[in-house]
Every structure is written in structure tokens, then in C-alpha cells.
Amino acid sequence: GPTRLWGGRFAGGPSEALARLSLSTQFDWRLAPHDIAGSRAHARVLHNRGLLTSDELDRMLAGLDQLEADVASGEFTPVLADEDVHTALERGLVERVGADLGGRLRAGRSRNDQIATLVRMYLREQARAISGELLDLVSVLADQAEANGDAPMPGRTHLQHAQPVLLAHHLLAHAWPLVRDVERLRDWDRRAAVSAYGSGALAGSSLGLDPEAVAAELGFATSAENSIDGTAARDVVAEFGFVSAMVGVDLSRLSEEIIVWATKEFSFVTLDDAYSTGSSIMPQKKNPDIAELARGKAGRLVGDLTGLLTTLKALPLAYNRDLQEDKEPVFDAVDTLRLLLPAFTGMVGTLAFNRARMAELAPEGFSLATDVAEWLVRQGVPFREAHEIAGACVRVCEERGIDLPGLTDEDLTAISPHLGPGVREVLTVSGALESRAAKGGTAPARVKEQLERLRATVAGH
């Protein structure tokens, strides 16, 4: 007979053009294991209500096991007439246990509550995998921070030299946002851990089935408070899309820096051969393709989120077929991150930093001028005046083509009587670093503590 789940009131089958438009198995087939898990739980609540005998339940579960194995082996696959994963699997079940028994499973459930539940099951599983991959990246950033010890680099604002910082401090500044992304996924899971099973098409089921029992069997914390919300809401899917986009954006910011650091002009890093690519025409080229792909895929991830939110905008309650468009964006986000993160982590873990070059540039661009001003403040000079004096030092240096430590004692007193020779002590990178000694600062001792706290945070997840 026809595989369709809704043939009764129709005189004929759908046109081929409609069947092709309607088809979702090319992307929702990945939900098949979750659909079968949902069917097992549903069969048990039907049995609990006396709608399946014990013998029927046993045969149903055996049929579902067989179907699961045949899906896993590729023996059973969807066909064009199947429309979606739910239809295909009902056909597969009927083929295995007969129409009499196989046809009983759909009682009290709808594809609307099924799909809302299955997407959550799948995304919760993927969120755990993505969190693990993010924590791997955080650990690799921590390893690089540790391996580079007290090495300084030029700290920048507006991409201009600002103040020297530890390379480790800068690397850890890329780790914390990723930790927050992991925490976002964990917090998101509280809202995702709600099963829509039992919501039916929109109004709930009249068969007295227990939604909480299904929810518990499928690993959810609870079931939906409102069957309309259960079937029609996709905010949890969109929130997953947001976190994915945020991860993409976070990776793109580190990517941009790696791309710049790898230029001849910067020469701050060398990429490992295993994590860089060559040019088909220019034999000398070594390109940071992983960082560029990460930067590019951030756009794609933002697009996934934007597309999904646009689909949801102004959609009336309850289920509308538009909602079928929720899956491809988030599946793409999952696939993108799972492809990208291992390569990205490998690239970061194998970066070789040119510490000598970074140290040499750390004091350049008058990056110690703030230290002059703050030294003056410690001598009792108001900051407003100290800023002017330090600025005058920079002006004199620029005129003479020298750097701040090149000013003689006479130069200093000529600029301001407040500038004694003691100021020289802060005109070193290590002095500047050591002095930023409050919590969160770049002083080596503080960065060591920061690294320990980051490691403890990773271990706690």
C-alpha cells in the first residue's frame, strides 16, 4: 500500500513536484535513531494504557530493534514517497511486524510532537559533543599560554601598539569567551531538556498517555507544560543557532589575528605544515587556510541563525509546515562546527610563536608612555599633568627618532622637573608587566593564577 500517512481523504496521490518539494528525508534522516527511541518509549506508554498487549509490545520492540539495525547498516533507506523520517520508519516497521501491529504505534502521537522532540534530542547530544571539542580548544590555548611562559608581546587597541602584555595573557583572552560558550550550551540544555511528546498535533492526546514517562525514557527532565507551545515553539532551536554563531564569531576573531600574525610583516607565528596549505602556482606559499575557513564559516553560522529567525518571525501558532525549515540551518551549524573545531584546535596547538620578535616589538610605538605617566602619579603629580608630560616625552622622542629609554637625564629634566632618573626603572617591558599586578592584570604572577583558574574551570565541566 501507499507509504503516505494521510491518504484517506484524498482521491489520488500527490504530484511528483509536490512530493519533491515536501521531501525532508535528505536532511531529517539523521534523526532516525532518535525517532526509533521515541517509538520505543511511545509503545511502552500505549502498553501501560492497555492499547498494546504485552505480546504486542514485545513484537513491536523486536521490530523496532530490527529496524534500527537495518537503518544502521544501510539496509533500510527512505524513498521519495516517504515524505519524511517518520513516514519512512513507519513503513519500515509495517514491513517488519505487519500492518496490523505496525499501524497501532501512531495512536496518540503526531509528527508535530515527534519532530519537536527529536530535534531537541539530537541537538542536546550534539551540544555535548561540541562542548567537549570547545574544551579541547580551551585546553590547547591553556597549553600554549603555559608553554610561552613570561614571553611579552605588543598589546594593541585600535590595532595600534598600546601597552606590553604577556603572550599568555592574550591567548587566555581568547579562551574565556569559549568557556562562556560552553556555559551557554550547558544553560541552554536546561531549556532543551523538555520533551514535546504527548502534545500530539497541538492539543494533546485523548488516549491518557503519560508524557512524563516518555520524557524520562528519552532522557528529558520533564515534558511540555503546554501542548501548543510544545509543538510550535522553536526558540530553543534558535538559541542553539545563536550559540553556534557566537562560537563562529569567537573563532573568527582569533582567526583574524593568526592570519595577521602569520604575515611577513608581523612574523609572530609560524603555522605547522600539517595545518597550513600551499599554492598551486606560487611554490613558496604557506597559507593559513584553517583560520580563513573559520573566519568564513562564521558568516555561514550567522546566516544559519538569521535564516532560522526569519522563518520563525510572525509565524502563527501552532504547527505550520514552515517549521520544517528549522532543521537544515541548525544541522548545518552542527556539521560546520564539528568539521571546523578539530582542525582549528590542531592549528592552535601547533602554532610556533616567534617570541624574540614579539619581545623586540613589545616596547615599540612608545608603549611604555602610560608607565611614565603612572610613575609621575606615584610622585604626586596629578594624572592630567602627568599625561601631558609623558606625551611631551613621546613628542621629543619622535622628533629625534629615538625611543623613551633613549632620553637622557638632561632631556627628562628639560621636559619636566618632576622627571627624575628614577623613571627609568619603569621604562622596561618587564617593569611594565610586573606593575599590572591586580586581579585580571597581565603581571606574570596574576597570569599564572588565571591559568590555574582556567584549568580548574575546564576540569569542572
Name the segment binding ligand ARG (CB under 6 A); options: 68-76, 180-188, 317-325, 398-406: 317-325
Among candidate residues 156, 162, 165, 147, the one with its CA nearest the CA of residue 440: 165
- Taking CB under 6 A as the binding criterion, the range among 56-64, 107-115, 129-137, 399-407 that sits at the site for ligand ARG is 107-115
Tell me, what amino acid is at 303? G
From the list 57-65, 99-107, 318-326, 358-366, the region that binds ligand ARG by CB under 6 A is 318-326
If binding is defined by CB under 6 A, does position 197 make contact with ligand ARG?
no
Task: Identify the residue among 227, 276, 324, 345 touching ligand ARG (CB under 6 A).
Answer: 324
- Smaller CB distance to ligand ARG: residue 84 or 257? 84
The interface region with ligand ARG, picked from 99-107, 108-116, 172-180, 284-292 by CB under 6 A, is 108-116
- Cβ at position 123, least distance to ligand ARG in Å: 14
Nearer CB in complex with ligand ARG: 24/117? 24
Helix (H), strand (E), coil (C) string for the chain: CCCCCCCCCCCCCCCHHHHHHHCCHHHHHHHHHHHHHHHHHHHHHHHHCCCCCHHHHHHHHHHHHHHHHHHHHCCCCCCHHHCCHHHHHHHHHHHHHCHHHHCCCCCCCCHHHHHHHHHHHHHHHHHHHHHHHHHHHHHHHHHHHHHCCCCEEEEEECCEEEEEEEHHHHHHHHHHHHHHHHHHHHHHHHHHCEECCCCCCCCCCCCCCCHHHHHHHCCCCEECCCHHHHHHCCHHHHHHHHHHHHHHHHHHHHHHHHHHHCCCCCCCEECCHHHCECCCCCCCCCECHHHHHHHHHHHHHHHHHHHHHHHHCCCCCCCCHHHHHHHHHHHHHHHHHHHHHHHHHHHHHCCEECHHHHHHHCCCCCCCHHHHHHHHHHCCCCHHHHHHHHHHHHHHHHHHCCCHHHCCHHHHHHHCCCCCHHHHHHCCHHHHHHHCCCCCCCCHHHHHHHHHHHHHHHHCC
Give the CB-side neighbour count of residue 145, counting CA atoms within 13 A: 28
| Residue least distant from ligand ARG (Cβ) | 111
Nearer to ligand ARG, 224 or 323 (CB): 323
The interaxial angle of helices 54-73 and 32-48, nearest 10 deg, is 180
Q: Which of 76, 275, 319, 331 is close enough to bind ligand ARG by CB under 6 A?
A: 319
Contacts to ligand ARG from residues 114-143, by CB under 6 A:
115
Site for ligand ARG contains 255 (CB under 6 A):
no
The residue among 112 and 244 lying less far from ligand ARG, judged by its C-beta, is 112
Toward ligand ARG, which CB reaches closer, 315 or 437? 315
CB of 320 to ligand ARG, least distance (A): 9
Neighbour tally for 49: CB within 10 Å: 14
Q: Residue 311 or 435: which CB sits closer to ligand ARG?
A: 311
Burial of 390 (0-12, 13-18, 19+ CB in 10 A): buried
Q: Which string of x and - marks every residue 337-356 that binds ligand ARG (by CB under 6 A)?
A: --------------------
Residue from 82, 84, 181, 371 in contact with ligand ARG (CB under 6 A): 84
Cβ-based nearer residue to ligand ARG, 151 or 323: 323
- Of the candidate spans 43-51, 315-323, 335-343, 416-424, the one that interacts with ligand ARG by CB under 6 A turns out to be 315-323
Smallest gap from Cβ 290 to ligand ARG, in A, equals 34
CB of residue 180 to ligand ARG, shortest distance in Å: 31
| Residues binding ligand ARG: number (CB under 6 A) | 9
Binding test (CB under 6 A) with ligand ARG, winner from 24, 195, 223, 227: 24
* Cβ at position 201, least distance to ligand ARG in Å: 7
From the list 73, 158, 206, 280, the catalytic residue is 158
Q: How far is Cα 324 from Cα 28, in angstroms, rounded to an integer? A: 9
| 112 scored as a contact of ligand ARG (CB under 6 A) | yes
Marked catalytic residue, from 279, 387, 418, 461: 279
Q: Is 279 a catalytic residue?
A: yes
Stretch that binds ligand ARG, among 110-118, 170-178, 207-215, 345-353 (CB under 6 A): 110-118
Member of 40, 111, 161, 295 binding ligand ARG (CB under 6 A): 111
Tell me which of 185, 323, 334, 340 binds ligand ARG, using CB under 6 A. Answer: 323
Range 188-197 burial, b when 16+ CB lie within 10 A, else e: bbeebbbbbb
Active site residues: 158, 279
Interacting residues toward ligand ARG by CB under 6 A: 24, 84, 111-112, 115, 319, 321, 323-324
